[in-house]
Amino acid sequence: MSGYFEFPTNEDWKRLYNAASFDKIFSFLDDFAAKSRPGSGWTGLTKAIELNGCIYEIQHRLADTSRSHILMMFYYEKGIPDKRWYISPGKNGESVQYFPDFEEEHFYIKGWFDFYSDVFYYKLFSTWDLIGHALNVKYDLGVKRVDFGKAVRALEGKNRPLHDNLESIRNAPAFQTAKKIRDNITHNSLPNTVGMAVYKGDRFETVGLKHYTTSDEIVANVRETVALLEATMQHISA
């Protein structure tokens, strides 16, 4: 790896973009926009303005999600040998040695991979929450402080088939795993870092290695959640 940062070539960018389903996702958003035509009068006008604003914001979040996905996969393809993320004892007699299969360049590669995967999860769930805003406007759900989950729950009394389809996405194991990863990145211990942790039980505290999520596990979940995002867009555009 030359230097601390590399940017994909145009060929790499196109290849990585085409390997995902973002073209379909954007196409479904276009269908949703075309089918979301509020009524006439002042109420129809204000609703159209709100809905167009939501769709515009979703387009931006989707673009950010696709960009972070491409850059994350670009660094992943360079190779991150973190399947064996620790050994005990270490090669030089340490009690624990982290990333024993890394050369110097792998730390740079992993650093950029971690950065772009973090961004991907932020933008992914921001996209879902903005979809919730659009649904709130389109179906007059009346949800305050709306997010994707609240909008889906409120759909039950307005559009039961759509509610059921979106609720199945929210309950999917990959969605739940992605949400946990995103919440940990934002609020708790980073899933892509190593170290020691204190585990507190009812009566005792223990010390051990913190849980580490490998790059392979992150990418596997990312691929599944992109498919769930595609399914979300397909359902709302139907």
pLDDT digits (tens, 9 = 90+) for 155-184: 998 999 999 999 999 999 999 999 999 999
Mean pLDDT across 123-136: 96
Distances (CA, A) of 236 to 34, 128, 161, 186: 12, 12, 10, 28
Please tell me the predicted confidence (pLDDT) of residue 1.
46
Residue 42: pLDDT over 90: no
Residue 4: pLDDT over 90: no
C-beta contacts of 86-95 below 8 A and 24+ residues apart: 86/194, 86/209, 86/212
- The SS3 assignment for 53 reads helix
Q: How many CB atoms lie within 10 A of CB 182?
A: 19
Q: Is there a contact between 32 and 233 (Cβ–Cβ < 8 Å)?
A: yes
Residue 144: pLDDT over 80: yes
Distance CA 208, CA 210 (A): 6
Instruction: Identify which has the larger pLDDT, 39 or 190.
Output: 190
Q: Is there a contact between 73 and 59 (Cβ–Cβ < 8 Å)?
A: no
Residue 199: pLDDT over 80: yes
Residues 53-95 have pLDDT tens digits of 999 999 999 999 999 999 999 999 999 999 999 999 999 999 9
User: In terms of pTM, does the model score above 0.85?
Assistant: yes
210: DSSP letter: P
Residue 154: pLDDT over 60: yes
Query: For the ranges 32-36, 127-131, 181-185, which has the lowest average pLDDT?
Result: 32-36
pLDDT, averaged across the chain: 93
Distance CA 207, CA 221 (A): 28
Which among 62, 58, 182 is positioned nearest to 131, based on CA atoms?
58
Please tell me the predicted confidence (pLDDT) of residue 40.
67
- Treating both helix axes as pointing N-terminal to C-terminal, what angle do 173-187 and 215-237 enclose, rounded to 10 degrees? 120
Gyration radius (Cα) of the chain, Å:
21
